[in-house]
Structure 1
């Protein structure tokens, strides 16, 4: 396929471009900055005209896209004022999804976030591990992701062949970030992420699998490493962090407290990287 990747210059974007190219796809990266050449187009997604034009075709780059991966966003709260984070990300996602609809792109994977489901988890979730049915935004970045998921869930019905998968990524770690796991025995480490993490290359694998297994409709998948980023057993962490909260009887010893069962069972995801 010819696949466009928005936010191609980011940590996850770079890994996704590499993964898709290794699978034989032609990939066009779209971002504000990137390497000059046939695989990249500079686009400001706050401008709907640029967005639509970029998806319809760019001279000497592509004549149309078969699929789209939407990763572009302000990645966290704090880089700009909070309202700006929300305004930018929701507006950009609308431009991307609506332009894709107008351009006839029916296979879409869009980055959502663990922040749509309780981050920083000051309030106990209803059960552990937390699955895709739970939604609770506590900051403007997470609220934006909730809005983007709702928007995708509506837009997907505007054409019977459209498929949109929203991937709720947890903290993405690249190869240079593995030294942070020196704190893995500290029960406060990654507490606000429920101990979760995902290698950027495995996040890219999840994107590739979501594209390969696309079917009409809207789906949400949690994307985290199936095992936590701590050396403390998960049941012990659950009791420490959320005493009294129901825990699945079949929870694995170090299984992620953000459930990845849907990702593994429906898309066949098997992580290739482990901090251990």
Structure 2
């Protein structure tokens, strides 16, 4: 397929572009930042004309796309004024979705966020593990936009039942070099309670994108995408009991099982995390004394 990836220069985007190319796809990275390279195109996603133009065709590089992966955004709360976050993220997503529909593209996969689940959980979650079944609980402008993007996708797929839009509610994206800090999280269980001690390896995030492109049916679906484990060495049941004592734990938790349920992604997408921070630390050997 010929696939446009918006935000392909970002932390998750780099892994997605790499994975899709390894799978044999032709990938165009639509971003405002990045080095001149194969498939890189400078685009301001807030400008509908630019977005529509590059999705419909680009000189001799392509004359139409088969799918769009939309990852570009101000990626977290607090990085820009709230109004700037709302304007940038909402407008960019509308432009990408609308331009893709106008171009006849039927498959879109995009980055929603774990934040719609109620992060930072100053109000405790309704139950643990959290899943896609309870209504969105945005607690910031950033997560409000993510919720509104999902609502927009629902309506767009209602307008055009042949269109498939998949929202991947990514957890905190990590690269292997980030795992150096993970053992320090054990010092304070509250330090990472804000997302139920979750994360996602960028390579597994890319796997989820690839699976969604392969398997998603027409219509809208949202999936939590997280690692199979937590960022902690302590057991998941112990963490839940200590930090959220009044919250029902609705299933038996494995020792380090994620509390951001990925059961739906496993069932419908065939998603299965392949990377854990524990693999990095277990592969390190302790120097022996002479």
Q: Same fold (TM over 0.5)?
A: yes
Deviations 1:158-204 (A, max 9, x none): 22211010000111001221112122423123211110001111100
Distance across 1 between alignment mates of 2:146 and 2:209: 17
Q: Please report the RMSD computed on the Cα atoms of aligned residues, expressed in angstroms.
A: 1.1
TM norm structure 2: 0.93
Following TM superposition, by how much is the alpha carbon of 1:212 offset from its aligned partner in structure 2, in angstroms?
0.6
**Structure 2 counterparts to residues 31-110 of structure 1, below 5 A:** 31-110=31-110
Following TM superposition, by how much is the alpha carbon of 1:75 offset from its aligned partner in structure 2, in angstroms?
0.6
Q: Say whether the 8 Å CA contact 2:110–2:168 is kept in structure 1.
A: yes
| Counterpart residue number, 1:275 | 277
| Counterpart residue number, 2:287 | none
Distance across 2 between alignment mates of 1:265 and 1:252: 19
Helix, strand or coil at the partner of 1:177: helix
**Structure 2 counterparts to residues 1-276 of structure 1, below 5 A:** 1-134=1-134, 135-186=136-187, 187-276=189-278
Helix, strand or coil at the partner of 2:165: strand
Deviations 1:8-61 (A, max 9, x none): 100000000000001111111100022324411110001000011110011132
Over alpha carbons, which structure has the higher Rg?
2
Helix, strand or coil at the partner of 2:3: strand
Q: Say whether the 8 Å CA contact 2:118–2:137 is kept in structure 1.
A: yes
| Structure 2 stretches lacking a partner, 5+ long | 279-290
Distance across 1 between alignment mates of 2:231 and 2:38: 38
Q: Say whether the 8 Å CA contact 1:118–1:125 is kept in structure 2.
A: yes
Following TM superposition, by how much is the alpha carbon of 1:261 offset from its aligned partner in structure 2, in angstroms?
0.7
Q: Say whether the 8 Å CA contact 2:216–2:269 is kept in structure 1.
A: no
Deviations 1:107-152 (A, max 9, x none): 0101000111111001111111000123101110000100000001
Count of aligned pairs between the two proteins: 276
Distance across 1 between alignment mates of 2:79 and 2:246: 36
